[in-house]
Structure 1
Amino acid sequence: MTSEIQLQASSVELAKTLDSLSTSLSTYLGYLGLPTDSVLVELDERRKVINNMPYIMPALTEGQRNSAMYISKFSAACVVGLFDAALNYLWDETIRNLRLKVVQFDLDYFYDTAITDANQRSRFRDESDLEKLDDWVLVRGCRETGIISDIGYRHLDYIRDMRNHASAAHPNHNELTGLQLASWLETCIKEVLGKEPEGAAIEVKRLLRSVREEILSGTDVPPIAEAIVRLPEDLAHSLLRTAFGMYTDPRLDANIRNNIRFLAYEVWEVCSEDAKYDIGLRHGSFSANGEVSRANLARDFLTIVNGLAYLPGNTIAIEIISALDALLAAHNGWNNFYNEPPLARLLQSFVPASGNIPGNVSGKYVKILTMCHIGNCYGVSSGAEPIYSMLINRWQDSQISQFINLTRDSEIASRLQFPSCQTRCQRLASRLVDQATHPNVKLALEFIGNFPTEKLDRIGNSSRFQTILKTVKR
């Protein structure tokens, strides 16, 4: 309590000196002949951050505060009045902390989950490789492995978007407020810096440790199977990808591969059809790239889980997956409005006029097209948007049903925080009403189109909508 009172007293004293500090800085800039207008944030806005920080920082332990170098830089930037730089420092501290959590949790599990392209995955081996991973891949991977929660992911996705467009990460003229920065600091502390993985994520960590360190037998399977059944769908999918990735590594220890044989079927059974098709596509990728040993091990894995029916029928599915991965990376990266059009055209080249694509890639195809079409909080790539619309016009009832079910997807729900994404999603739903043929599909689309726009990110919680979804087959 005493330290909190001292912290609050220090912030009050600092606030009193801001006027003198700002005057001195402006005078110095003028002496150098540099601009002084709109360089530093107004004093009132700075005071809002400074006065709120004493109530936010106690959420971190003393040890966590001692290592939070970028939070010190964030605080200094707020005091000086450089809010765009402060946001950048806050994001840097968040990313640093997430990387540390990944290493402490399970690095291989994270890589197998976050990096879906088999060729790219081979380039990520140790802790140093985390720096090569795009921020959006890191954040999404932390959600899929349970290191952060769905709510935490949605908050961080919003902050990441603001950091990309309103911080000192690149030139901009966006104005940030003191309360915004204080709120984002609290969110990053609450969801990342001061929080450790819990619940189902810890179960996965224990299971992976047992697979790597113990020698399992048939009698060990039933209690483990009970734990696997309780896993959320996303974590079960992540565990399947990791088990498959480990099993197909020719360098894997024989005892570990044998442990996976005991548990593979149990994991496979609780996963969705999309997750199973994803494993089949990975076998096809190994074969297409001449990785004979890995392809043979992949077929062995599919045999163990009775999953040979999920093998891809032709190479076009692999080409579409590759094009989708490239498009999503561009969409979530820098200069996405400029980089998306050529990759959208590449994807278009693989989709016939009928719209028929292999069923094992349809779910991913619909999701990524939806994300690109509704855009981010700053809009949609104007050069790529006509291509997205053309491809969506080719959707049939099965793909429209997949779009409807995406309203419960955490990544899509995160996008639907933004008014522009909400509006575009509802317009798309209304447009698809005439395109759909099944009455239940039309009913679901009309419900989405008429749902309160500002609450669209929470439509999955509507009991009425959940009832309608039961009548819509994916």
Structure 2
Amino acid sequence: MSDMIVKKDVSLPALPDTVLPAITQLTAALGIPREVLASQEEIEYAWRDLPRELREIPESLRDELIARMCVAVSTGLFDGAMNYSWNAAVLQLRQKIRNFGLAVVAQILQSDFEEKHLLELQDSKLLELCLKLNIIDEDGFFFLDQCREVRNNFSAAHPTMGTVNDREFTTFLNRCVRYALADSSSPKGVDISSFISAVKGPRFNDNQCQIWVQRLTETHDAQRQMLVNMVHGIYCDPATAEPARLNAIDICRYLMSAFTASIKSDLINNHSDYVAKGLEDKHTASLQFFEKLGLLGLLNESEQHVVYSRAIERLWNVHNGMNNFYNEPPFAERLLEVTQQGAVPETIQDSFVQTVICARIGNGYGVSNAAVPYYDEMIKSFSPREIATLIKAAADKNSSVGRRVANNGNCRRNLKLCLQLIDSDSVPNSVKSDYVRLMR
């Protein structure tokens, strides 16, 4: 079932007939003009608009401060009502920081942070901390900071610079509700040191991995971004043990669907720094990180070329080595996984096509049957340019493919099977005649 919160309308009683006349009687008794207090029209409009804002506040947060705010509004004391609503917003922001975890906040701030520190925070510093923890976003920070200034200068908390009318109060309340009170939930921070220790520890079991993934999912975007960057750094560190690398990949694989543009940008920047600083070990590990997560498409073509080149070279060496029929499948599968992450860079397409086709048509002794499904899958995905490369290579007796086709009947029959995997409409016109000849 959905966890959607159902908002209920709040029905406030009508203003008593005695309230508004009583204000007039009070000012007369004190000998002051009626105009020094909110007018009857302002009070009526503010009271009319109040239920719309109260509806957005969860019932659990409609406490005595909200009740006092309503009483203040009913008598036109908008400066007092502003103070009550601001205090309610501040208390909720403090609670969200508690829910995030004071110990985690201390880790992020790299200083002591306990309950007393939270209570001693000035409102301006509280808003800055909430922004840092992503409890409020930049819009929320901007509008709540405006509310803080208004509260300091126009509410009953301090001697005022002037008065506010019903519309100004309603706007003030709307911002307190929208950015602090409307959502009673809050992200939970992840204990950074415990997380890093767990990743660097023994191999995760399924339950352990899921617990950490859940914690990272429940925290806010900024902390999740920071921790993903840390995990990438752990994976790329030459001193990291293999279990820790596998833990790092497991965490990121589960979180990939939640990778924001900022997370991806940071990963690319970290990877580029390794290149710029000449950290070859870290650069190589980082390439593997992107490859294992299927994120090669984020790298530039020259970086992708390196990954494809290595996978192609390893398959070619195994294909030409001893016991190739038994050794080829994992290397063929690896190359297929790489090609499924995006288009093969043009700089390596010729080598890619020749290697796959040579392995697929085999040699005088046959083919690696267990690897055939991987080869066929790659051939089905050939681009028109790769199809043209295949046909040209098969027609050229000086190429590796051409020599096998010209000298071995099994290779010719296997080539026809390869060509049958290709839609004839995808064959470029420049090689159409060779295609028809090879298909005979």
Give me the TM-score of the superposition, normalised by structure 1. Answer: 0.41
Max radius of gyration: which structure? 2
